[in-house]
Amino acid sequence: MATPYQGNVTSVTPGGQGTASAPVIRTIGLSDLHQALRLGWEDFKAVPSHAIVLCLIYPVLGLVLARTVHGYSVLPLLFPLAAGFALLGPFAAIGLYEMSRRRENGGEPSALDALQVFRSPSFGAMLGVGTLLFALFVTWIATAQTVYTAVFGYETAANIPDFAERILTTQQGWWLIVAGCGIGFLFALVALCISVVAFPMMLDRQASAGEAMVTSIRAVAQNPVPMLAWGLIVAALLVLGTLPFFLGLAVVIPLLGHATWHLYREVIVKDPNAQPVIPQPRERKPAADFPANLFPWRRSDRG
């Protein structure tokens, strides 16, 4: 549910020529962030078990990533890995946007509805932007490792207390904290600018990747303080979600995913020409069709 229109709006069509179908950006305030989080929490409460099951793969992903870098001293990369979820989160939550969209239209979404995002006409565009965010994530991890090596060399910490002592009680450690947070902020800012409303827009309007990213950049430019505050909220919740052992992400990811959809509704004026989507009940599939019934588009192609 978008809040009533307040403030100025700006058309984001290239060249400055507005059209009726062009995305229009609202000027929002900090209260709109609270509204988005509140509505996101309502969505999460409406389908908590499905959302948690859907998002358990992300704590598993975190553990796999941590184990993958174990041979290169996992301790220095734990914080960059945790912070890196802020880069991947917008793409990781695409199924949650679909669930919020269906609930907004009066449906009762489930995890199966989240999988319908793979059949969206704009899924290719979403995958392209997701690949870009993953490349940004990999670059961030490599940069963090390089900075740590430049400060402490290749000698690894013996255990967590030893690592904490290095970081918190030495001049090199404090320099690493300042440099790492500064560089990480730049990566997070890039990800925020290109994706804060990009994925919901591609899902909602079947926008191209370029149009969605440009709209996202201009939304940040028009609302710098609220968007910066949103980025800080996301980063703080994701870091908290990594405790303990990334399991908190099973709650944080769904909450932020649903809230991002509602933030999109707050920031982008709803297309007046959009046709309402009435969720259809799912057809019951006989057990004999398993696993083919997991891929209905394959059956339609053969037909």
What DSSP string describes 26-45? EP--HHHHHHHHHHHHHHHH
- Considering only 114-128, 177-191, 255-269, 281-295, which range has the smallest mean pLDDT? 281-295
The whole-number pLDDT of residue 223 equals 97
Whether residue 3 is predicted with pLDDT greater than 50 in this model: the reply is no
% pLDDT > 70, the chain? 71
Q: Where are the domains of the chain?
A: 28-269
Give the pLDDT score at 4: 42
Q: What band does 273 get if pLDDT is binned at 50, 70 and 90?
A: low
Average pLDDT, the chain: 78
How far apart CA 1 and CA 14 sit, in angstroms, is: 28
Work out the average pLDDT over 111-140: 90
CA distance 46 to 128: 31
More confident call, 161 vs 20:
161
Q: How large is the average pLDDT for residues 288-302?
A: 49
Is pLDDT larger for residue 183 or for residue 82?
183
Position 282 scores a pLDDT of 47
pLDDT, position 28: 95
Average pLDDT over residues 293-301: 48
Is 55:249 a contact under the CB 8 Å cutoff?
Answer: yes
